[in-house]
């Protein structure tokens, strides 16, 4: 009889220990997922950059001139967009959402080229502002069209597209609730790639 009770006690203790370890493991996983969901929701703010940057270019094209500060702002916007795409792609690869060998980086390359172009343009501005040449207008118009295609990709993929001035009500919480397990952000990256290849 004592042996049977001892077995029950050992099995009960084993079950309690197993349950405690499982709860701890699940809690750690949930904390990890919550953290990643927050980071990804923050990173998804790249959805505002194409619209913001294309609107800046539109102003420059309408005026027919560009100032050093405008060129600098455009340069920074392209760099920020480049880094955000890079970070999201890194997350997607680490989490197994994208295969490293299948990531083409077309969007990243194009945005980096735009950034480099703005570095060179800014360096060539030796006064308050300069008149745009025909070629510069064509180049900026091409950038604007590419950014507008990214904005359309955002509209297609996101329930709440981020406005330039502020986030729509419910944006952050909505994407935070979707969490890292939802692939909305991976689909955005794929859409960026798709429209980059087309254009």
Q: 85-137: per-residue pLDDT in tens?
A: 888 888 888 878 777 765 668 889 999 999 999 999 999 888 888 999 999 99
Q: Nearest CA to 111 among 193, 29, 15?
A: 193
Q: Give 119's contacts (C-beta < 8 A, 6+ positions apart).
A: 75
Q: 56-66: per-residue pLDDT in tens?
A: 999 999 999 99
pTM for the complete prediction?
Answer: 0.74
Q: 18-75: per-residue pLDDT in tens?
A: 555 555 555 555 665 666 667 776 666 556 788 889 999 999 999 999 999 999 999 9
- CA 122 vs CA 80, 110, 133, 170, 181: distances in Å: 17, 18, 14, 38, 41
């Amino acid at each position: 009889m004592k042996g049977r009770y001892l077995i029950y006690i050992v099995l009960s203790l084993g079950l309690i220990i197993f349950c405690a370890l499982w709860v701890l493991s699940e809690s750690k996983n949930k904390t990890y997922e919550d953290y990643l969901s927050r980071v990804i929701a923050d990173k998804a703010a790249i959805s505002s950059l194409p619209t913001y940057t294309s609107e800046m270019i539109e102003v420059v094209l309408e005026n027919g001139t560009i100032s050093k500060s405008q060129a600098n702002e455009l340069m920074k916007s392209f760099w920020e967009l480049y880094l955000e795409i890079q970070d999201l792609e890194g997350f997607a690869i680490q989490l197994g959402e994208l295969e490293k060998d299948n990531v083409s980086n077309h969007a990243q390359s194009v945005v980096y080229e735009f950034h480099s172009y703005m570095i060179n343009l800014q360096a060539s501005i030796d006064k308050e502002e300069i008149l745009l040449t025909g070629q510069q207008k064509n180049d900026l118009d091409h950038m604007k069209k590419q950014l507008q295609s990214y904005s359309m990709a955002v509209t297609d993929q996101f329930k709440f597209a981020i406005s330039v001035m502020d986030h729509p009500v419910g944006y952050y919480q909505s994407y935070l609730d979707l969490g890292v397990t939802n692939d909305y952000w991976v689909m955005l990256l794929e859409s960026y790639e798709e429209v980059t290849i087309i254009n």
